[in-house]
Structure 1
Amino acid sequence: MNTHFFFALVLPDEIKAYIHNVTEELILRFPFKKVLHPADYHITMAFLGSADDSLKKDVQKRVEAVLAEETSFGLELDEIGAFGRGDSPRILWTGVKQQERLFSMQKKLYSACVEAGFELDKKPFKPHITIARKFDGEDSFSLETARQVANLDDKYFEAVQVALYQTHLGASPSYEKVFTINLQ
């Protein structure tokens, strides 16, 4: 199976630990087949798929150039959400509150990847942090109850780094940073 690559916003360790604690509470009530390792928490900005070395080097230079003047900025965790069927979601995630800087930066990064020759998903950007996959409960899932169980505090953090990650399927953690860009 091919290795895949993606650009993502790196989360601070203390936010990863907080999300992990919330996730531990959630999966007691709502089991999932795969719970992500806290080191794998991130906000995907562009999924590239497989790429040879020359294409990776080209896209790294392009993304580094478009993010060269970007400065760090604050984000805040938002509510728990899910993708897929309401009673049996395939993805459980936590979001971040709307922040125009994140959308602006993602748009620049996305354009640089397209210019490098990648065919990217055209769905609108929905910033989220995947925490679990494939609901595995006997009773139906309830997003409303999950949000009550999670009871996310207002957690602010600084977005200070974007990374190109490589997937290692079957490993835990599954993602490895292979290139990083520090925001000013």
Structure 2
Amino acid sequence: MSHRLFIGIRPPASVRDALIDTMEALEGARWQDDEQLHLTLRFIGQVERPTTNDLASALARIVWPSFELTLEGVSYFERKAMPSAIWARIPLTPELGGLRAKIERVCDLEGLGRETRRFTPHITIARLTRDTGPIAPWVARHSGLRTTWQAEGFTLFESHLLGSGAHYEVVAHYPLRG
């Protein structure tokens, strides 16, 4: 049986509350649930149980200090010239980039290869469809979104795709220390 995995940082409740407070007045947006709010550090994809176990063990050997993260405004991704998702921006800091580099190295050593897509740190707020209303007013209204928190750990998640959306299950959590 294969498992769909990713590695991410879950923001604390106060940050998730600030994001949830933005989730209004955009017709046709599919807002993320509280449990879905996270910063993806590395998408793994489908792997078998032995690979999951090996990856979980290897990630436990990462030593990295706790560091500050900031949400700074909102933006959106496009697919085929249409907005497809709106998200809160997280500036890439040396600390965040360093942790991500260590995770990339572990994934590579575990035979999962390197990520080829450019890393754009963000937390997805909503998925959009062709039926979504104009997003410019929403983006303008929430452009001043800003909150800071201390990243105390990262998590290996399993993603279960359901008709109602994705459900995330914690496989292992790794505290930041050192």
Give the TM-score range, shorter chain: 0.7 to 0.9
Q: CA deviation at 1:120?
A: 4.6
Relative distance call for 1:86 and 1:95 in structure 2 (3 A) is: farther
Query: Is the Cα contact below 8 Å between 1:87 and 1:141 reproduced in 2?
Result: no
Alignment partner of 1:148 is 2:140? yes
In structure 1, list runs of 5 or more residues that go unmatched.
Answer: none
Query: Is the Cα contact below 8 Å between 1:10 and 1:43 reproduced in 2?
Result: yes
Query: Is the Cα contact below 8 Å between 1:8 and 1:42 reproduced in 2?
Result: yes
Partner Cα separation in structure 1 for residue 166 and residue 78 of structure 2: 24
Partner Cα separation in structure 2 for residue 177 and residue 58 of structure 1: 16
In structure 2, list runs of 5 or more residues that go unmatched.
Answer: none
Moved more, 163-172 or 9-18: 163-172
1:10 equivalent in structure 2: 10
TM-score normalised by the chain length of structure 2 = 0.88
Partner Cα separation in structure 2 for residue 138 and residue 154 of structure 1: 25
Identify, as 1 or 2, the structure richer in helix. Answer: 1
Moved more, 158-167 or 89-98: 89-98
Relative distance call for 1:109 and 1:52 in structure 2 (3 A) is: same
Q: CA deviation at 1:17?
A: 1.2
Relative distance call for 1:122 and 1:161 in structure 2 (3 A) is: same
Equivalences for 1:49-88 in 2 at 5 Å?
49-65=45-61, 67-68=62-63, 70-85=64-79, 88=82
Moved more, 146-155 or 36-45: 146-155
Partner Cα separation in structure 1 for residue 2 and residue 67 of structure 2: 34
1:123 equivalent in structure 2: 117
Alignment partner of 1:166 is 2:163? no
Per-residue CA deviation, residues 25-61 of structure 1 (Å, 9 max, x unaligned), is 3xx13432x2211111111111111112211121122
Q: CA deviation at 1:150?
A: 1.5
Count, aligned residues:
176
- The AA in structure 2 aligned to 1:20 is I
Aligned to 2:88, which of 94, 116, 128? 94
Partner Cα separation in structure 1 for residue 13 and residue 165 of structure 2: 17
Q: CA deviation at 1:137?
A: 3.8
Aligned structure 1 segments of 4 or more residues deviating by more than 6 angstroms: none
1:108 equivalent in structure 2: 102
Identify, as 1 or 2, the structure richer in strand. Answer: 2
Aligned to 1:42, which of 38, 44, 68? 38
TM-score normalised by the chain length of structure 1 = 0.85
Three-state SS of the structure 1 residue aligned to 2:92 is coil
Partner Cα separation in structure 1 for residue 114 and residue 175 of structure 2: 23
